[in-house]
Chains A and B, each alone.
Chain A
Amino acid sequence: MKRPSTAVGRAVAACVTAAALLTGCGVQQTDVIEAGGPATIGVFPAPENRMVLFFLSPQGRPTPVMRRVGTNLDPKGGADYPPAGAGPVDRGKVVAALFAGPWANEREAGLHTELPPQLNGPVGITATSGKLILRLPLAVRPLKAAAVRQVVCTVAFAGGDGGAEVTIMGPDGTLPAAHC
């Protein structure tokens, strides 16, 4: 077989290839393929009656939780947060609730926080044309990135739709402005 590349040889090779194509495959497995958008689901309570806090999933991703607020809907007086339209002062209470950590049912779902449990002082928030500045009574530089994201997202959603730019300031300095 000095010349394997005869016409017959090539044809046989082609046949074998075709046969291999035909027989060697049923349904093949694939890589992950992106297909379309996500599913938009309904969440409640409705935007007027909720505050949105961001805790961390077991994988470390900021995950929103929604707590019902508003005295008119909660006759027991458990509400500490009037409807969003009531005024900007309520953001301080939202931040306080975030630092207070997840409730039992939220912890049950696997959520946790990276923030220190207590705030030893008041929280100051100023809003100017879509930019929010938050003053915290604690050192902000040692905060972990996930903790910072928790704060940024929570503040951006407090009385807004989460699109605002947030700057966090502490006694030890200012963190770079961030979006949720």
Chain B
Amino acid sequence: MSRWKARIGLRTRLVLAFLLVAAVSAGTTAALTYRKARTTILEQAQDTAVSSFRDRVQELSTPLPVQREPLQNQVLRLAGQGKPHPWVVFAEYGSLRVSSGARPVSTVITPELRRAALANPGGSFQRVVKGGDPWLTIAVPAVFRAGKTTRPTGLVLYAVMPLIDEEANVRAMVTAARDGAVPGLAVALVPALLAARSVLRPVRDLRKAARSMGNGRLDTRIQVKGSDELADLARTFNESAVELEGTVGELREAEARARRFASDVSHELRTPLAGMLAVTEVLDEDAAHLAPDTAAAVRLISAETGKLAVLVEDLMEISRFDARAAELNPDEVDVAQTIRKTLTSRHWTDPAQLVTDLPDGIRARLDPRRFDIVIANLVGNALRHGSAPVVVRLRTETYGDGAPGTPRATGVNGAARLVTEVADSGPGIPEDVLPHIFERFYKADAARTRSAGSGLGLAITLENVRLHGGTVRAANGPRGGAVFTVEIPLMGGETTG
């Protein structure tokens, strides 16, 4: 039942219920009307027949005992006076049987009627269905007057009348009821559909509003009409939406405050750090003249201050991303040259450390500064955490083209991407760490609380790649070693070569 219900929509169920109600009421009305009308039709025919038959019989006169020939004549005369339909008249007296029909004894008259006619001093009738046809059988005992009372003569007259016309009328009523019910149900379909619509429209509005809220438009509200249950539902929905909007607003504000705080803190730290960096440079230069212990301390301070400066810079960078203040300044560049420049400027040129596979002629629209940060972070990470040699590969791929790592040079506009791979030869990244590798301040090795980097390098890399509309993912290569793959769509960029 419930599965059946689940398959049938609300509209169908409403319409079906409506039609069912219409059918039941139409059927009940028709049935009751029919019964009443049938009773009336039959009663009218019966009453007319019984009273007119009695009136006709009362015109008879006969000697007693009744004689056959006169009785036969009188029966024949009676037979012509049937009302409302022609009837066949039978007379029974003692062993005398006379009729106006072909047979002297009727096959329709029941023994019960005969018994009743002889036992009761009154007329009686019975409807009989014989061979599928309905008949009205009437029995009227004849009495004679004796003083103040009447006495039975022993003569009983029967009339047998077909009720075919009444049957036809009754059947016609059934047909009329049936023919009326079908158009009636068709007419009922119109209000049923309207009613279903009026119920379903608020439901549809509600569904749209819920979907709209799911898509993030928290200011969605439903127009409340009327005061029925659906209006209550809409009102509740609106109230919930207000609550939700308020809560989400508060959360966003709190998050924004927290980010602003981080941004402000790093800003405030920057100026004193700049001063400190200047001082530590001077101290570094003078360290050679200091006592060894003091020199070591000075160098430590200098190194930590440098790290602190990097951390503050990274924090500011990531704050800009959070505030959506980071802007892309694209320029059409030769990607291989850009990467080489990055490596050279950081003195990563030792072939034992770094192997490159950078085909010339791949041009793309990139923000050179941000791409430089991406490559520097990935290669720096690889050199720090993995082991040499680090391999940097560059290629283009077509979207929807096979598995990654199957390079295929294309000259096709648009549907291509720039793929940059940085792989090291270290032990790789543990599987449980991989999903978190791009999170801020995530430490791959819990024991190693201090790292050379700020802990924001990969997060910044991710944000920069995203800004280009691309993706970056970390995996382990087939022969061990971490592989970072950056994919950037070649928006309007061409590969020439």
| A residues neighboring B (CB under 8 Å) | 1-3, 6-8, 11-12, 14-15, 18-19, 21-23, 25-45, 57-59, 61, 63-66, 105-106, 108-111, 157, 160-163
Contacts and interface: CB of A to CB of B under 8 A. Distances in A.
B125 interface: yes
A161 B112 CA distance: 31
Contacts of A45: 63
A140 B116 CA distance: 32
B124 A35 contact: yes
A32 B118 CA distance: 13
B30 A22 contact: yes
B65 A33 contact: no
Contacts of B279: none
B143 A41 contact: yes
Contacts of B178: 22
B62 A65 contact: no
Contact of A109 (B38, B95, B143, B151): B95
B120 interface: yes
Given A15-B27, A26-B167, A110-B95, A41 B155 contact: yes
B142 interface: yes
B95 A18 contact: no
Nearest to A43: B144
B79 interface: no
Interface in B28-84: 28, 30-31, 34-35, 38, 42, 46-47, 50-51, 54, 57-58, 60-67
**Those 4 A-B pairs whose CB atoms lie nearest each other, nearest first:** A161-B147, A110-B95, A42-B61, A110-B94
B146 interface: yes
B47 to A, nearest CB: 8
A7 B118 CA distance: 55
A41 B55 CA distance: 10
Contacts of A65: 64-65
Contact of B154 (A15, A63, A163): A63
A31 B125 CA distance: 8
B112 A57 contact: no
23 contacts: A11-B24, A15-B20, A15-B23, A22-B30, A26-B170, A26-B174, A27-B166, A27-B167, A32-B125, A35-B47, A36-B122, A37-B54, A38-B140, A38-B142, A40-B145, A41-B58, A41-B61, A42-B144, A43-B64, A63-B94, A109-B67, A109-B95, A110-B96
A162 to B, nearest CB: 5
Contacts of B124: 32-35
Contacts of B110: 32
Interface in B294-336: none
Contact of A43 (B61, B67, B116, B118): B61
Contacts of A160: 147
Contacts of A21: 31, 34-35
Given A8-B20, A163-B147, A35 B94 contact: no
Contacts of B247: none
A35 B50 contact: yes
A161 B149 contact: yes
Given A44-B61, A157-B146, 17 more contacts: A2-B1, A8-B17, A11-B21, A18-B28, A21-B35, A22-B34, A28-B127, A32-B125, A35-B125, A36-B50, A36-B51, A38-B122, A41-B58, A43-B64, A58-B95, A64-B64, A109-B93
Interface string B224-249: 00000000000000000000000000
Interface in B76-105: 93-96
A105 B65 contact: yes
Contacts of B157: 39
A2 B1 CA distance: 9
B152 A38 contact: yes
